[in-house]
Chains A and B, each alone.
Chain A
């Protein structure tokens, strides 16, 4: 069993490809996972994302990297019972088990990366702006869109190392919209909270995150009523709406090592707010039309 798990480490992928005779259980890789198609992808391959990525940068960030994640996933799942599972199912399945990190990481990165590129407005002639309902919701939560932008980009800039920054909607009464960071290959899905990786533990006090909580007086006939609402079905208590990929390979080619803030600023102008509204649960206002300024 140990031997088999070592065989399926992605680091061993290259070695195994060269010397298949070493591992007794090396499976022939069947290509189940394919790189998903983005809207007008041919255009993007040729011209990149106007205002954000050059064609070469887009190739690195999407074409090559996503394909690399597909290859990793195919290698990790071929011949196993998880053969034909979607990346989301794999994330939820493997989040709890550290020994399955070799499979969790490519699944999570594939999901996050696709979510990132899907949320970008790739049409150069259209400037996307939040709909009225969304604008209202965000203003309620962050006091203004400008302050949301500031907080969001500041958070992304201050994260040291690769990761993603998400705008999520929680199931809460007053301020459901929150900003969530996931370092490296962390996942915002609530079912994969074991691997959320929202803090850099090197700079945090590890004792503050210990799971040990004093449960004295928390249950029984004299205990105070639990006012927290029950968790909803299927773990839909954290809904990711929008994300930015802060891994260096996504912006290094175009912006250089110091160009992170410029990349983030340009990305903010390229957000597709329609996608955000699609994922969000918004209150109905009288005029909730998308505003497009072309």
Chain B
């Protein structure tokens, strides 16, 4: 053992030589000598005791903490405990910017300050010669050849946009976060996670909304109740339902996504976009004038909008717990386990019968009639696939 050998190497000889060789004051030296002898004797006895293997009192019947190999979870727990105690020893480190916190813990709309936007470089526009004059209202001035965006205007627009996201989420709308530039993927995914929305960080496929049935027709859909629980048994009905479109699109790089924004406009889908000084503010419904070239700025804006969506979802679920549904449920779905016609609601039956009588000129057979009724029952809306049941 290290301890004993060190003591023996230095201690015994040191003590012996120090005290035994000096005999100036008899009484004092004697007592010191005795103490030294005692210490050495104690050490020796300790040595012999350990060496001889004298049984040392066992603590208790309970198993020793380390006698079994601890699991990874236990080790991690211990590691975390130790971290908390030992990590902060040594110095107090002053507050500083930690880049990962913008993704792991994004700011909420209430945390938006001009200092935050300035630190995120949201005020930096493009060279003055590249500007879009429609953005003049957002620009504070010029410095070093670039336009400087007014941060109070940015903050106001960001707050408005976050309110829109919150309310759309509260009403159970589909929010799509789009960011197709390098490095924007993590921000966009994180925002979609918080807002329980959808994300896109690869190229937008043109026609995904205007030609949605073709492009997204094979995508899976599911039926959820007001508490966000999946309700099974609607597969056949979902198979015939039209493809979904987003209710709100948040685009953090509108300059590269004109087609997406145009499709949204054609389909009356509101859009939110980060508008730089060279971008066209009319492309989006709710512009946020800010620097779209700074990843830090995009992370702040996407984070804020994600947090707003999170707040809206929380409100929606809280109201659902009380029994209040904040949205209009999907039309035309029949609860699973019931027959298509026989137990369908009287209004639906009436609708079908009216349609049948309008369409058919003469009815030859009861079979033909039943066939037509079946066909009409399966026929949903316009331009969908018609499935005829036998």
Contact = CB atoms under 8 A, between A and B. Distances in A.
A123 interface: no
A234 interface: yes
A34 B91 contact: yes
B124 to A, nearest CB: 24
Contacts of A181: 2, 6
B78 interface: yes
Contacts of B129: none
Residue in B11, B85, B93 with the greatest tally of chain A CB atoms within 10 Å? B93
Given A83-B96, A110-B91, A234-B83, 4 more contacts: A69-B91, A159-B6, A203-B9, A284-B62
24 contacts: A32-B94, A35-B91, A36-B89, A86-B88, A88-B86, A88-B87, A107-B90, A114-B90, A118-B89, A140-B59, A143-B56, A151-B7, A154-B7, A154-B11, A154-B43, A155-B6, A173-B67, A233-B76, A234-B75, A236-B75, A240-B86, A279-B82, A282-B65, A283-B60
B367 interface: no
A217 B236 CA distance: 67
B6 A110 contact: no
B82 A158 contact: no
Contacts of A139: 57
Contacts of B42: 147, 150
Contacts of A189: 86
Contacts of A22: none
A203 B76 CA distance: 39
A136 B79 CA distance: 24
Contacts of B82: 234, 236, 239, 279
A73 B78 CA distance: 29
Contacts of B50: 143
A176 interface: yes
A115 interface: yes
B3 interface: yes
A140 to B, nearest CB: 6
A236 B93 CA distance: 24
B75 A232 contact: yes
B72 interface: yes
A137 B66 CA distance: 13
Interface of A: 31-37, 69-70, 73, 83-84, 86-88, 107, 110-111, 114-115, 118, 136-137, 139-140, 143, 147, 150-151, 154-155, 157-160, 171-174, 176, 178-181, 189, 198-199, 203, 229-230, 232-234, 236, 239-240, 278-279, 281-285
Given A140-B59, A157-B11, A88 B90 contact: yes
B128 to A, nearest CB: 33
Nearest to B42: A150
A155 B83 contact: no
Residue in B9, B56, B57, B76 with the greatest tally of chain A CB atoms within 10 Å? B56
A28 to B, nearest CB: 15
Given A229-B69, A233-B75, A34 B3 contact: no
Contact of B65 (A136, A240, A281): A281
Contacts of B22: none
B46 A232 contact: no
Contacts of B14: 157-158
Contacts of A281: 65-66, 78
B79 A88 contact: no
Contact of B92 (A36, A158, A174, A285): A36
Interface size class of B (residues with CB under 8 A): 35 or more
Nearest to B80: A234
Contacts of A137: 59
B90 A171 contact: no
A265 to B, nearest CB: 12
B144 interface: no
Given A158-B6, A232-B70, A115 B62 contact: no
Contacts of B64: 173-174, 283
B89 A115 contact: yes
A145 to B, nearest CB: 13
A140 B56 contact: yes
Interface in B196-212: none
B87 A86 contact: yes
B78 A236 contact: yes
B32 to A, nearest CB: 11
Contacts of A233: 72, 75-76, 79
Given A143-B56, A171-B66, A33 B85 contact: no
Nearest to B90: A87
A158 B11 contact: yes
A183 B25 CA distance: 35
B68 to A, nearest CB: 10
Nearest to B38: A150
B237 interface: no
B95 to A, nearest CB: 9
B93 A84 contact: yes
Residue in A31, A73, A179, A189 with the greatest tally of chain B CB atoms within 10 Å? A179
B10 interface: yes
B10 A160 contact: yes
A42 to B, nearest CB: 16
A150 B45 CA distance: 13
User: What are the 5 closest A-B residue pairs judged by CB atoms, nearest first?
Assistant: A87-B90, A158-B10, A234-B79, A33-B91, A111-B90
A111 B78 contact: no
A181 B11 CA distance: 15
Interface string B292-336: 000000000000000000000000000000000000000000000
A33 B91 CA distance: 6
B94 A34 contact: yes
A110 B91 CA distance: 7
B239 to A, nearest CB: 49
A283 B93 contact: no
A88 B70 contact: no
Nearest to A118: B89
B11 A150 contact: no
B132 interface: no
Contacts of A199: 2
Interface string B160-182: 00000000000000000000000
Contacts of A158: 6-7, 9-11, 14
B221 interface: no
